[in-house]
Amino acid sequence: MFGLGSKNIGIDLGTANTLVYIEGKGIVLREPSVVAKNTQTGEIIAVGSEAKEMIGRTPGSIRAIRPMKDGVIADYDTTAAMLKYFMEKTVGNSKPAVMICVPSGVTEVEKRAVIDAARVAGAREAYVIEEPFAAAIGAGLPVMDPTGSMVVDIGGGTTDVATISLGGIVSSRSTRIAGDKFSSAIANYIHQNFNLLIGERTAEAIKIQVASASVEKAKEIESMSIRGRDLVTGLPKSIDIEAVDVAKAIQESVQSIIVAIKETLEETSPEIAADVIDHGIVLTGGGALLKNLPAIISDATKVPVFIAQDPLDCVAIGTGESLKNIEVMRKRR
C-alpha cells in the first residue's frame, strides 16, 4: 500500500490490462483486467494477475472473466469491484479524484457507466478522458500547440486513431479491432487449418512471440512450438506453427486498422495533414509492438510511422498528466 492521502490518480482501464498512475509517483500498478468469481455465491476470489493465472484452469464453480469488452464496461458490478480493489491497493482507504480513459467512440451512457463505477469504487470525483488524447499526452506530442499530431492507440479491445491540434481531437476513428482480435484470429486460424484447439493464453503467447504485420517479413521469423487439444483424437498435441501462418491469420485485422487510419487522414484538413506528414504517425498501446507494423502502415499511408517511447504506458501517463487540469474542470462545472 502507498500512504498517499487523497492523491489524485489516473487509471488506464483497459480491456486487457489496467494501469494506475499516481500524481507525483508515476505508474504504481500494472495488472490484467481479470476477475475470478464464484459463480454460485458471486464472491470475488481473485483480481488481476492472480485471476489471470486461473483463465482456462478453473473448476465449474469459479469463472475467470474480463469485465471490460471492446474498451467499455461489459459487467458493471465486476468492473466496480475490480476498480475498488486496484484503488485500495494503491491509495488505501483515501477518496481520490480519478481520471479514467475511454475509447473515442463511446456513447454518453458508456462514459457515465465508467464515472459511476469509479464513484462506487471509492472515488471522491471521477472524470473521463478520450484514450487517443491521453495517449498523445503520454507520448509527449505537442497537443496544446497549433500544429497537427496523429496518434494510433492499439489496445486490447479497441484501436483509437485521432488527429489532434490546439488541445482537442480534430478527427478520430475507434474500431473494435485490436490485440484481442489478433489473438482470436490466430486461435481460429489454427483451429481451422491444423485441427488444434488452443486457449486464450497460448494465442496471446503466439501473438507476442511470432506474429508479424507483414507476411513477407514473417519468413525471417523462426517457428514456435505450441500445445493444444487435437480436435480429431481429443488428445493433447504439440505442433510447430510458422510465423507466416500467424501473419496470414491477422492480415484482415491489420488491414482494418489501416483503413481506420486512412479514413481519419481523409477527414483531416490539408494543414493538419501536412503537419502529420512532417511529424509522422505515432503508435501507442500493446498492439504497437506487433512486428513490422510501422513499416506496413507507412507503406499504406506514405507517412512516416514511429512507435512511442514506452507505448504500453502512454495512455496511463497521459491520463495521470491530465489530472493537473482537474481543478480547471472542477471550476468549469
The response to whether 16 counts as a known ligand-binding position is yes
3-class secondary structure, 324: helix
The response to whether 147 counts as a known ligand-binding position is no
The response to whether 193 counts as a known ligand-binding position is no
The response to whether 15 counts as a known ligand-binding position is yes
Question: What is the DSSP secondary-structure string of 192-209?
Answer: HHH-EE--HHHHHHHHHH
3-class secondary structure, 299: helix
The response to whether 164 counts as a known ligand-binding position is no
**19-34 b/e (C-beta count within 10 Å ≥ 16 → b):** bbbbbeeebbbebbbb
The response to whether 289 counts as a known ligand-binding position is yes
Closest residue by Cα to residue 72 from 28, 110, 29, 99: 110
The response to whether 158 counts as a known ligand-binding position is yes
Burial of 225 (0-12, 13-18, 19+ CB in 10 A): exposed
The response to whether 140 counts as a known ligand-binding position is no
State the Cα–Cα distance between residues 137 and 65, nearest whole angstrom.
Answer: 31
| Secondary element (H or E) of residue 174 | strand 168-175
The response to whether 205 counts as a known ligand-binding position is yes
The response to whether 97 counts as a known ligand-binding position is no
Known binding-site residue numbers: 15-17, 156-158, 204-207, 286-289
Q: Which residues are annotated as a binding site for ATP?
A: 15-17, 156-158, 204-207, 286-289
